[in-house]
Amino acid sequence: MTVSLSHHLTDKIYIAGHRGMVGSAVWRALEGKGYTNLIGRTSKELDLRNQQAVTDFINTEKPDIVIDAAARVGGILANNEHPYPFLMENLQIQNNLIDASHKAEVQKFIFLGSSCIYPKFAPQPLKEDYLLTDSLEPTNQWYAIAKIAGVKVCEAIRKQYGKDFVSLMPTNLYGPNDNFDLKSSHVLPAMIRKFHEAKLATDNGQQSTVTLWGSGTPMREFLHVDDLAQAVMFAVEHVLPEYLYNVGTGTDVTIKTLAETIQNIVGHKGAIAWDSSKPDGTPRKLMDSSKLRSLGWEPNFDLEMGIKDTYNWFLAHQDDYKTVKF
The yes-or-no verdict on residue 326 having pLDDT over 60 is no
Find out whether 208 is annotated in a ligand binding site: no
The reply to whether 213 sits in an annotated binding site is yes
Average pLDDT of the residues in 174-195: 90
Distances (CA, A) of 196 to 21, 192, 214, 259, 311: 20, 6, 20, 12, 9
The bridge status of strand 4-5 relative to strand 238-239 is antiparallel
To the question of whether residue 238 is assigned a binding role by annotation, the answer is no
Q: Of 75-84, 116-125, 219-228, 244-253, which gets the smallest average pLDDT?
A: 75-84
- Known binding residue 171? Answer is yes
pLDDT digits (tens, 9 = 90+) for 198-235: 999 887 778 789 999 999 999 999 999 999 999 999 99
User: Active-site residues: which are they?
Assistant: 143
pTM (predicted TM-score):
0.92
User: Has 150 been labeled as part of a binding site?
Assistant: no
Distances (CA, A) of 122 to 115, 173, 222: 11, 20, 18
DSSP string, 193-250: HHHHHHHHHHHTT---PEEEES-S--EE-EEEHHHHHHHHHHHHHEE-SSSEEEE--S
DSSP state, residue 128: G
Q: List the domains of the chain with CATH numbers.
A: 4-178+222-251+285-301 (3.40.50.720)
pLDDT digits (tens, 9 = 90+) for 267-323: 999 999 999 999 887 788 899 999 999 999 999 999 999 999 999 999 999 877 554
- 185 versus 236: the higher-pLDDT residue is 236
